[in-house]
Chain A
Amino acid sequence: MGEAKQVFEPKIVGFTCNWCTYAGADLAGTSRKKYPPNIRIIRLMCSGRLDPMFVLKALLGGADGVFIGGCHPGECHYIKGNFYARRRIAALRTILKQFGLENRVRSEWISASEGDKFARTMKDMAEEIKKLGPIPMREKIV
């Protein structure tokens, strides 16, 4: 009683493509853009490497949100990896939508030169997940 309520700091897991969003995040850092420190980045060689199971595992394993960053459509380093990724993410989000979880998974196309867009996206996403609160049943589910 009387104690200040602890502020909820969401955990966000980010899967980013080596050739674009990861470099974009690097650029955001080297150009000293400010963004909230909630994201933990996992680098993939392509957004097409993302098995939607990674997202489910993250959400059920303690993440409050998942961010997926890939190259702009048509600019994939491997020609079409992000096109396949787009279909997979769309399907996964359709499933999550049934349980009201779709807003915890967000994907964005961010190129290596868009450090500013990366910082902005992180800020948006951290705010949104803060509003949503922790993932339900965090203590319980595995």
Chain B
Amino acid sequence: MKGTELNLEDLEGFFKGLLEKNVVDALIMPHRVGNKVSYMLVRDKSKVVKPESVIFAPSFGVNAGNIVKGWMIDEKVGIVAKPCEIRAAIELIKLKQLNEQSVLLITVDCAGAYKNEVYAAHYAEIGDQVDSAKLKELEGKGILIREACAICEHRLADIGDIAIARVAGKVVVAGLTEMGEAALSAVGLPLEDKTKVLERKDEKERIVAEARQQLEKLPKIPSLEDLETFLGDCILCKNCRDVCPVCYCKECFFDQPLGRPVGGDLLNLAELRGAIEVPANQLLYHLTRVYHVCTTCVACGACEDACPKGIPLTRFYPVLAQKVQEIFAYLPGKDAKEPLPFTTYEEEELEECLR
């Protein structure tokens, strides 16, 4: 992949240019609010202030994909976000929850992120951006990145329409699709004299190796009894569903009478079994949900962050989803043109998985 090398400070002009030249009608991008980082929907270019100090901030609050879920708009919105968020947006395009022509996906490099509250609390030590050496140093102080980030293999910006990569104190901006290249040329890029080839094979390999090591270290849930213990504190608030970028049913089964048994239904069941746990359906809810997202889960870990009971859901959703994605050799969010595994088939396949 080829891109233009820019100074960090040039990014402000780049984002302003996108709005000025009407490449996009609005930008969803991170903004700093005190120590905190949150997303803002920007239409006025004067509101783009020092983006270089915030777009690489290692803070994860909400998945930007979830913000645009179901936005079937005619305008065009640019989304500046981490790889997992852009991958979620690409999955939403495939799920027809997002119009491919109405988003310009701008991926930024991510080194791993902290929960947004951790980031805000330790902003003085963490700073505007981190690299792997800095992460190690902070780990020594007991400031840990999110579990989902620790096991993430896809931290380098290499998907979406435009990638913004960090290379040795500078950034490289590269167009990855026709739409991305058109957007870049509208703002006067690429600059011939600053063209740089971006091949980060070694870095990619290092990240994958580290992530696999971390995945090995995660506690496993080997049986139904363990799963029941693991989910024991679940209060069925369904926050994990609401913040999940790829969980998109308009009417969730678990909001309907069959999925939320009450009164007589439960009394009958209790009569049959002697006693039942209430609120009911914990296991059914989570097992159904993991099946529903198993091919599209981008392993962003938003479910874990949203759980009010602090259940480490990263050990459940992304880990199980990855096993399913392996049998279909499918990586969610890699390519908007690739069909979803459940919408296609081969005539001869998978027989070994059936019995």
Contacts and interface: CB of A to CB of B under 8 A. Distances in A.
Contacts of A88: 342
Given A57-B284, A99-B221, A142 B328 contact: no
Interface stretch (A8-16, A37-45, A112-120, A133-141): A133-141
Given A56-B287, A74-B347, A100-B222, A139 B275 contact: yes
Interface in A77-133: 80, 83-84, 86-95, 97-101, 106-108
Nearest to A101: B224
B324 A139 contact: no
Given A87-B350, A142-B276, A142-B283, A53 B294 contact: no
Most buried by A among B222, B291, B341, B342: B291
B136 to A, nearest CB: 31
A140 B228 contact: yes
B253 A53 contact: yes
A95 B323 CA distance: 8
Given A57-B284, A94-B353, A142-B276, A83 B291 contact: no
A12 B207 CA distance: 46
B59 interface: no
Consensus secondary structure, chain B interface? helix
Interface residues on B, range: 35 or more
Most A CB within 10 A of own CB, among B280, B282, B355? B355
Contacts of B275: 139
A60 interface: yes
A57 B280 CA distance: 12
B324 A91 contact: yes
Given A52-B291, A98-B221, A137-B224, A86 B350 contact: yes
Interface string B212-232: 000000000111111110000
B198 to A, nearest CB: 35
A137 B275 CA distance: 12
B43 to A, nearest CB: 41
Contacts of A139: 273-275
A36 interface: no
A90 B353 contact: yes
B277 A91 contact: no
Contact of A87 (B222, B276, B281, B345): B345
B347 A73 contact: yes
Contacts of B227: 99
Interface of A: 52-53, 56-57, 60, 73-74, 80, 83-84, 86-95, 97-101, 106-108, 135-137, 139-142
